[in-house]
Structure 1
Amino acid sequence: MSRLTLISLCLLAGAAGSLAVPTKREATAEAETQPKITYSKETLTKDGEEVKLDCAVVGVDLDGVEDFGIDEENPTNSFPISANDKILLFGTKYTIDHPADSYQYSLVIKEVSEEDTGKYRCTVNFGGDQKINAEVPVHIQKAPYFTDDFTKTLTVTEGDAISIDCQPGGWPKPDVYWERLGQELPYYGGKFFKSNQLDIPLIERDHEGHYVCYADNDIGDPANSHIILEVQFAPEVVVEEKQVFAAPSDPVKMACTVFAKPSADIAWYKDDQAILGGANMKISKVELEEGKGFTTTLSIGEASAENFGSYSCRAVNAIGKTEQTIEVRMKSAPLIVKQSRSEVLYDLEKTNLRDALPVVIECEAEGHPTPDFRWTKNGAQLVWQADPRFSLEDGTGNLLISDPTMDDNGLYQCFAYNELGTAVGDPVYLLNTTRIEFSNNKDNTDLYPVEAELGRPYKLSCPEATGYPKPSLNWVKAIARESQIELEFVSDERIVADPDGNLWFTHITEDDATADKFKYMCLGSTEFEPADYSIASTIELSVVSPADGNVNSEEHSVNVETFSMYTSPETVTFQAEQENTLWCIYGGEPVPSVEWRRTDGEEMDKERFVTRNFGRTLVVKDTMLSDAGEYECRSSNGVGASKSTKIQVEVEMKPTFRSELASQTVREGATVTFTCDAEATGEVVYNWIFNGRVLDKDGHHRRTLAGNKLTINDVSVVDVGNYACNATSSVGYAYGQAVLNVIPMDRSAGGVGGGSCGGISELKKEISALRETVDTMHNLLQEHFSVSQHNHEKLHKIAESMGVPEMSTVLLINEVIGNGYFGSRGQRPTQRSSPRPRLRKGSAPYLEIPLYQGVV
């Protein structure tokens, strides 16, 4: 059996040709070996050289094979060059090299050029569908190159992702490196990055720059391609100051810097109204270096009331819109808005722990410009910077004290100040708490055994407690439950504790006996740490039979009628605006009920008047002055007559403001009144403080201090500042603050008042009329002087001719010209005559001209 075996060489589409070599062989169906093809690998040559491509069959016996032929089928993707040793693609370009007695057919390509490069395929066809292919690439060595040698510009938008592909020509295939001139490569970092693709997953504006792709294959010089990356982004608006402070009539400048690409349109707005500029408001624009952006400045020549408010610098380009807001605020003196009150307490044992927080004395103030702060201790300047344990909290005047000691205790006062004034805070005591001490002077864990008679009233006392703040006492039951002790506050209608810590039983029952069930404990705590209890005493109570043998709980006939055990004093004084309590503890068996009323018949507001401890205490919340009066508690238990106790309540109120002192902003020349509206019992003395200094009632002609009112007439900018009122009585004080701002009068408006130049137009008219009057009178005087001089000379001659003495001549002249002589300019008269004539013209002010008598 024979078959056709075809060996051919062809050039794949787009490459050089192929060589086909037909042979015949006698094939056996039992061939033990699989035929193989051997061929040249990748071939690299130089331009103009000769290339030899080898292709042979091994593993088969081709001897005696007949019927060679050419495969006439023309593959669509190749161009046959030869079959066997015959050239099919005629020309001198190709030859076949076939050594005798071999199965190798080599294609020789003469004077290789660029068009000869590509893939060559050697095909061995055994007939049917049996083929073996081998492909041999042919390349010509060539230095790296780019088909375009111009610099390209790539424009992207901030936030995009980009991938830049660099595919240079040349063989061997060049290595590709990326560089960003003068800067590190984004995302990858470093100077160079080896890859055909430069990927930036998130473009930022600072990725803009000059990028270079280098190609190098060690043949010739490296090639490069340049790309300018431009990043477009929405405007970024930067302002140096979010707040600008100015006094009325002060110049104001607001600036914002805009970075944008493409360039942005920039505009200023006030309350959403575009600002177009004007005589008092100008807008300028300056370009930054290298065209990176613009700085625009809005300038106000003289700030007025309508210039204060919110301004926006807006920038818009094709990518987006951005704006920043600047607040123009009127300068104002400081005003303290938050501070510690009365006392700040700390625990010496806890503040020295490693993680303990510092003690804080609060002081926060508003004001424009932002106030600075200073502190005093016991009236002397506190140099807190000199002690590392002291500091001021950022953004406030809060004084922080780490690891406080007893030496730090004292009276502290905060001062907030800026260029317009000073605000003074309330004095605050810094004090340490003290441990609670009890008067029993024993180990408080010891058990105190006590006995109480069954059915009889009983009082269980707690040792007196001392400490700071003043301790309060509470009674609990310590109940043993398995491996732990539970504390349960005593709550029973038969049992009530008074404010001194005594526990009162209306009558004792068997349930009151402690035995092994529980123990009574008296605990002390303070308002500084209300949940931290100290043990005053632990008590075991035993219930015994009455000594007289009568058990009232068993026989109704011996029940105990109600009786007073503990009540508040006959007269008590309540503090207004606080919670106050009246006590009325009655004993008896059965348990008595207690009711409260006002003896004057006034209704008690159920919102503020509540009872506790099963009616034994009357609590008055938010006490008012109107709560003063007589109160009665009535107790009854159905045994005998009811009992009652009357308590007279007086209420004292430290000065309390009915309304807060209000800050004011007025125009220059106005009249301002501050009212310190305080309610109090007893006489109240008012003191006014201006910028930290107490005002003297007779200290200023424009200020009037009358009772609780401070009035300032014809205010001017010198009156700007912090005003504080201290209302003091025998029981306390109230301290309030307010700020006065003054808007100066517009000097160009012609208005009147407040030390301004108002009314200038009217004044000019009066001066003009006055000048006209003076000129008219001057002419009259000159004329009168000429007439008088002529008369004088004439009379003098008459007197000489009549032989009149000199003194008579003077008298004669006076009689003639009427008691006066108008002296010439520059002449000093010797005596002023009376009266002074007044000359008027129209409504102009009159001008007095003195008449002088002289002697010739």
Structure 2
Amino acid sequence: MSRLTLISLCLLAGAAGSLAVPTKREATAEAETQPKITYSKETLTKDGEEVKLDCAVVGVDLDGVEDFGVSWSKIDEENPTNSFPISANDKILLFGTKYTIDHPADSYQYSLVIKEVSEEDTGKYRCTVNFGGDQKINAEVPVHIQKAPYFTDDFTKTLTVTEGDAISIDCQPGGWPKPDVYWERLGQELPYYGGKFFKSNQLDIPLIERDHEGHYVCYADNDIGDPANSHIILEVQFAPEVVVEEKQVFAAPSDPVKMACTVFAKPSADIAWYKDDQAILGGANMKISKVELEEGKGFTTTLSIGEASAENFGSYSCRAVNAIGKTEQTIEVRMKSAPLIVKQSRSEVLYDLEKTNLRDALPVVIECEAEGHPTPDFRWTKNGAQLVWQADPRFSLEDGTGNLLISDPTMDDNGLYQCFAYNELGTAVGDPVYLLNTTRIEFSNNKDNTDLYPVEAELGRPYKLSCPEATGYPKPSLNWVKAIARESQIELEFVSDERIVADPDGNLWFTHITEDDATADKFKYMCLGSTEFEPADYSIASTIELSVVSPADGNVNSEEHSVNVETFSMYTSPETVTFQAEQENTLWCIYGGEPVPSVEWRRTDGEEMDKERFVTRNFGRTLVVKDTMLSDAGEYECRSSNGVGASKSTKIQVEVEMKPTFRSELASQTVREGATVTFTCDAEATGEVVYNWIFNGRVLDKDGHHRRTLAGNKLTINDVSVVDVGNYACNATSSVGYAYGQAVLNVIPMDRSAGGVGGGSCGGISELKKEISALRETVDTMHNLLQEHFSVSQHNHEKLHKIAESMGVPEIVQDDMTQEEEEMPKVEAVEQAEEEVTTEETASA
């Protein structure tokens, strides 16, 4: 029996494809060509035409193959039960004349002929070549009817989505060949993809935004007939967006107020105004209006207040609600108020002259921030003169604040700067601030050829290492370290030992010397200087190599107790020390001796020291008083002992001085017109305190106004009116410093509708009479001065007349106003004012 072999699939270019077929082994050896199966490729025809699907075995003699046959069937892969056989070899298995088999004689070709092709004839046809047993090969031929692209629905569809959704729009047109699909958004670019067109059956928008709304078109084209299109209107619903132009509205009492908000929403939103969570429905003094925007994109609603009163100030909300969500924006209606400085630099601003000129250096900042309604403007002075910072490109003001920025400062910029914040209601004045450059630390040994100094110290004996004197600005502080040589670097280690302590002058004290203090090749002592401006930037003052030698007297006290050194004073604070209140202060008590002395502290009056505020450092040799209080004044004693001889002690008298400090901040006030207001500048200090009051940047005179009373630390204003609105500042000064506080006074005007309330107009007339009385005094003074001027002028005129006569020069005649003519308008003005006041009093009564 012949053995058959299957050969791999091979695709041929041209009108037909081919499949390798099984052959006889014997015949294969003799065959000149490879046997093949040929069949039709994908077939495209027109409606009503006849189509022929080829399927043949070529290049081999199959007479000896049992059960050879070729059959056709129609295949439905989606629903296999709808598949059916059509032919077996040259026989049609179906009734009817739809199909025939074309089988040329003496060939293995079995072509399926389909007559008058219609839409129901399209699909996949399968040619099966059977070589007997399980040996068979299938060849599939798709049949399509040529057709222009089309959509089953030709109406415009509306797709409604919600902002934030992800959507995918599928476009699957009919037609053959399969059409290419393009997307377009009419009049706008396509979202995410950009450009005008995008080629794809599927349009994906992963995150819908409201501006993606629009008219989208899907185009289908296969070069047959006209392109087809399908239209989609994309509508995007979204929660209300509430936009307010001004989040803060400023008004004086009795001023009209308008608040507006614009709402964008889809679907339309219900809009309402609220104050303190209470809905506003309108009223005589409150009106609500609503205007639709163009093309129905939204609405602008306005809340109007006719005359603002005390209860109208506060927080208002514009709320909008629709089916998607709720949104609101808040508008603050604030009473207009004078500026109040809330943040500023300390008394000194320092800069490094070298580092500020580097390319990446930040500008020097002198801070000045103020609150006020309306938002304050700022100006600066330097050394008492106005600073025109706009004229120098190195100067600028920080946005939103009055901070003065200075780029690339020079020593010419050093000086005393002062900030002024002002608006229509008043002026706030900041503390003066010095701008100064720092200086390098200079040491008294700078002229020495070297800063390495070898010294010797006797074993067991006290010793002191001195650091060269350091000068610079700010004042340098001195520290001692051990410079330890490592393999690749020098490691600095601050000196910390119960035997060794540094005093505030930079001296390093040893209670007694040991062999461990010798530097040898292990380390060196190094004195470093730094300033508070850059505390981590150290300058080297000196480097010490210390050698330990035997005592010159031959007595090694460190080895024999009988010759130990009893405790003795090496360095202590002065007998009287002045502490600054509210700061950290330190007392020093450094005692020497061998063994190491211990030090204890106490108050001689027996009062306990608060352990939270009183702490010891440097192994008890310094007593640190944190947040010093006036009650910390007194006598303190440090007692030292080391078991050799009697203990020793030092008493130090501590005095505490306090610069003026406010017990409570100066409080801003809002009162009604006619009230009495008192500002209290409650400062605590040692020594005499002098109080000065400043109104809108001007110092108040004690005798400057009949309604103001300045008494010690109190400023009282009687019968206040709107002219008293502004910034009030108190400067409490003593011999050791000052405190500066500010507050704002706001006045709600009296309601004068219907002729005033409760005799308010009479109070106003009384005030006006006082003003007129003061005006009369001023006019009288001016009148007397004019009389004197007239007398002098008349006397000079007579002299000039005589000189002119003697010289024969014609006299120039000038029509001068007579004394009576000059006097009359002023007198009449005062009398007319008095008459008006009298008339108004009568009407009021």
TM range (shorter): 0.7 to 0.9
In the TM superposition, residue 518 of structure 1 has moved relative to its aligned partner by 4.0
Q: Deviations over 1:594-617 (max 9, x none)?
A: 444444444433333333344443
- Indicate how the Cα distance of structure 1 residues 381 and 58 shifts in structure 2: closer, same or farther if over 3 A, else same: same
Aligned to 1:676: 681
**Deviation by residue 1:556-597 (Cα, 9 ceiling, x = unmatched):** 665555444433333333222222333344444555444444
Cα distance in 2 for residues equivalent to 1:556 and 1:799:
116
Deviations 1:79-110 (A, max 9, x none): 78888889887878778877777776777666
Alpha-carbon offset, residue 68 of structure 1: 15
Post-superposition Cα deviations, 1:263-317, rounded to whole Å, max 9, x if no partner, equal: 2222222222222222222222222211122222222222222223332222222
Given that 1:11 and 1:121 are in contact with CA atoms closer than 8 Å, whether structure 2 keeps it comes out as no
CA deviation string 1:389-442 (max 9, x = no partner): 333333322222232222221111122222322221111111111122222344
Check the 8 A contact 1:5/1:127 in 2, yes or no.
Answer: no
Contact 1:11 1:79 in 2 (8 A): no
Structure 2 unpaired stretches of 5+: 70-74, 811-817, 828-842
Do the aligned residues in 1 keep the contact of 2:318 with 2:330 (CA within 8 Å)? yes
Task: Check if 1:838 corresponds to 2:826.
Answer: yes
Distance in 2, matches of 1:73 and 1:643, equals 110
Q: Equivalent residue of 2:68, what SS? A: coil
Q: CA deviation at 1:451?
A: 4.0
In structure 2, relative to structure 1, the CA distance for the partners of 1:176 and 1:725 (3 Å cut) is same
Shift of residue 736 of structure 1?
0.8
Is contact 2:17–2:40 with CA below 8 Å preserved after alignment? no
Alignment partner of 1:76: what SS?
helix
Contact in 2 for aligned 1:751/1:758 (Cα 8 Å): no
Q: Judge conservation of contact 2:6–2:22 (CA < 8 Å) in 1.
A: yes
**Mean Cα deviation higher: 643-652 or 222-231:** 643-652
Deviation at 1:129, TM superposition (A): 8.3
Shift of 1:673: 0.9
Measure how far apart 1:207 and its partner are. Answer: 1.8
Cα offset, 1:544, TM superposition: 4.7
Q: 1:753 to 1:623 in 2, by over 3 A?
A: farther
SS in 1 for 2:354: helix
Distance 1:105 1:113 in 2: 22
Q: Is the 8 A contact 1:153 1:228 kept in 2?
A: yes
Q: 1:356-412 CA deviation, whole Å, 9 max, x = no partner? A: 332222222222333232222222222333333333333322222232222221111
Are residues 171 and 518 of structure 1, via their aligned partners in 2, closer, same or farther at CA, if it must alter by over 3 Å? Answer: closer
Structure 1 pair 89–797 and aligned structure 2 pair: CA distance change class (3 A): closer
The CA deviation at 1:195 is 2.8
Shift in Å, 1:764: 22
Distance 1:323 1:63, change over 3 A: same
Q: CA deviation at 1:166?
A: 2.7
Check 1:375–1:835 CA distance in 2 against 1; reply closer, same or farther (3 A cut). closer
Distance 2:794 2:459 in 1: 135
Label 1:444 to 1:129 Cα distance change in 2 as closer, same or farther (>3 A). Answer: same
Change (3 A) 1:584 1:184: closer
Q: Answer whether contact 1:525 1:532 (CA < 8 A) is retained.
A: yes
1:444–1:59 Cα change, 3 Å: same
Flag the 1:753–1:168 CA change in 2: closer, same or farther, 3 A.
same
Give RMSD over aligned pairs: 12.9
**Mean Cα deviation higher: 205-214 or 502-511:** 502-511
Deviation at 1:37, TM superposition (A): 6.8
Cα deviation 1:137-177 (Å, max 9, x = unaligned): 55554433333322222222223333323333344433332
Contact conserved, 1:11 with 1:119, CA < 8 A, in 2? Answer: no
Counterpart of 1:642 in structure 2 is 647
SS state of the match for residue 153, structure 1? strand
How far apart, CA to CA, are the structure 2 residues paired with 1:178 and 1:292? 26
TM norm structure 2:
0.77
Structure 1: 5+ residue stretches without partners: 806-829, 840-853
- Structure 2: how far apart are the matches of 1:90 and 1:475? 116
Partner residue, 2:303: 298
- Is the alpha carbon distance of 1:14 and 1:466 closer, same or farther for their aligned partners in structure 2, counting shifts above 3 Å? closer
Task: Give the TM-score of the pair, scaled to structure 1.
Answer: 0.76
Distance verdict in 2 for CA 1:90–1:648, change over 3 Å: closer
Residue 453 of structure 1 corresponds to 458
Deviation at 1:747, TM superposition (A): 4.0
Change (3 A) 1:774 1:83: same
Q: How far is 1:58 from its partner?
A: 5.6
CA pair 97-18 structure 1, distance change in 2 beyond 3 A: farther
SS at structure 2 position matched to 1:26 = helix
Q: CA deviation at 1:712?
A: 1.4
Q: Secondary structure in 2 aligned to 1:143? A: strand
Sort the Cα spacing of 1:342 and 1:21 in 2 relative to 1 into closer, same or farther, 3 A.
closer
Alpha-carbon contact 1:26-1:61 (below 8 Å) kept: no
Give the deviation of 1:341 after TM superposition.
Answer: 0.7
Which of 132, 152, 163 matches 1:127?
A: 132
Deviation at 1:449, TM superposition (A): 3.5
CA separation of 1:782/1:125 partners in 2, compared to 1, >3 Å: closer, same or farther?
closer
Q: 1:753 to 1:221 in 2, by over 3 A?
A: same
Aligned to 1:64, the other structure's residue is in SS state coil
Give 1:36 deviation, angstroms: 7.5
Provide closer, same or farther for how the CA distance between residues 104 and 776 of structure 1 changes in structure 2, counting only shifts above 3 A. Answer: closer
| Distance of 1:430 and 1:645 partners within structure 2 | 42
Q: 1:530 to 1:106 in 2, by over 3 A?
A: closer
Distance in 2 (alpha carbons) for counterparts of 1:659 and 1:74: 91
Residues 166-191 of structure 1 deviation map (CA, whole Å, 9 limit, x = unaligned): 33334443333222111122232222
Residue equivalent to 2:698: 693
CA contact (8 A) 1:687 1:726 kept: yes
Contact 2:264-2:298 at 8 Å conserved across structures: yes
Question: Does structure 1 conserve the Cα–Cα contact (< 8 Å) formed by 2:20 and 2:36?
Answer: no
Aligned pair count reads 818
Q: Within 2, Cα distance between the matches of 1:380 and 1:797?
A: 51
Q: CA deviation at 1:677?
A: 0.9
Offset, 1:710: 0.9
Aligned equivalents of 1:774, 1:181: Cα separation in 2: 81
Call closer, same or farther: CA 1:169–1:474 in 2, change over 3 Å. closer
Corresponding residue to 1:477 among 477, 482, 503: 482
Give the C-alpha shift of residue 718 in structure 1: 2.4
Aligned mates of 1:260, 1:597 — CA distance in 2: 76
Mapped to 1, the partners of 2:771 and 2:719 lie a distance apart of: 25
Classify 1:514/1:143 alpha carbon distance in 2 versus 1 (closer, same or farther; 3 Å). closer
Q: Distance in 2 between matches of 1:12 and 1:572?
A: 111
1:456-496 CA distance string (max 9 Å, x none): 54443332221111122233344445565444444444444
Distance in 2, matches of 1:249 and 1:371, equals 22
Tell me if structure 2 keeps the 8 A contact 1:371–1:418: yes
Cα gap change, 1:545/1:25 in structure 2, threshold over 3 Å: closer, same or farther?
A: closer
The answer to whether the 8 Å contact 1:520/1:539 transfers is: yes
